[in-house]
Amino acid sequence: PEDIEVAYQLGYKIKLVGTAEETNGMVNVNVGPVLLPKAHPLAGVNYENNAVFVTGAAVGETMFYGPGAGELPTATSVVSDLITVAKNSRLGTNGNAFNSYKHETKHTPKEQVFSKYYLRLTMDDKTGTFLKLTQIFAEAGVGFDKILQQPYDDFTATVVIVTHSTSQAQLEQAIARVTDEPEMQMLAKYSVVEG
């Protein structure tokens, strides 16, 4: 709930998103919660609806949208699948592959996967702790786009950071260092989708 509220204040909505991107013959695939700008078409997909947002060289941005979860769509899908299985059993076509497309590929290295990130952590609210935090990120090559700091209690502060675009490897290096610091505790990390 806290991340949802803070993300909304920063102009984002948190959505579960699956992404796949091919660059130079390598793929980067990810599924997880991300921060989307409120104006992004996927940010408006709610309730039982699902969407597929595609960016193509020839077509630009397109979105396919419709029901994909919930009581009625799920029941419809299950019944449709059962009918297909029964029909294929009767026709003796069970086991036919949907397609036989194969494509050997490599995953994009972490050093080449870039994104902005939303981070939330708590840290001791004492002189020098925030300086140490900024030094850790600077040494990993991670810059800050936005920072919010609020008192958590008399001795601890909550810090929310939105980074500049950075590699996954750089971010992991910074988070590993933060995790080693007894006065800091990482609570949340989300990719931030721009545009």
Could you report the per-residue pLDDT of 121-164, keeping only the tens digit for each? 999 999 999 999 999 999 999 999 999 999 999 999 999 999 99
Q: Quick check: 98 pLDDT over 70?
A: no
* Domain of residue 175, CATH code: 3.30.70.260
Which structural domain range is residue 128 located in? 110-192
Residue 169 lies in a domain: yes
Cβ contact 167:112 at 8 Å: yes
Domain count, the chain: 1
Please indicate, yes or no, if residue 23 is contained in any of the structural domains. no
Query: Measured between alpha carbons, how far is 83 from 7 in angstroms, rounded to an integer?
Result: 43
pLDDT above 70 (res 95): no
Distance CA 112, CA 115 (A): 10
Using DSSP's 3-state secondary structure scheme, residue 60 falls into: strand
- Phi-psi sector, 40: left (phi>0), alpha (psi -120 to 50), beta: beta
- Any domain includes 59: no
Identify whether 35 is part of a domain: no
> What pLDDT, on the 0 to 100 scale, is given for residue 138?
98
- 10 against 104, higher pLDDT: 10
Supply 8's token pair: 């909304």
In a domain, 153, yes or no: yes
**Res 84 pLDDT > 80:** yes
Asked, for residue 117, whether it belongs to a domain, the answer is yes
Residue 76 lies in a domain: no
Q: Does 17 score more than 80 pLDDT?
A: yes
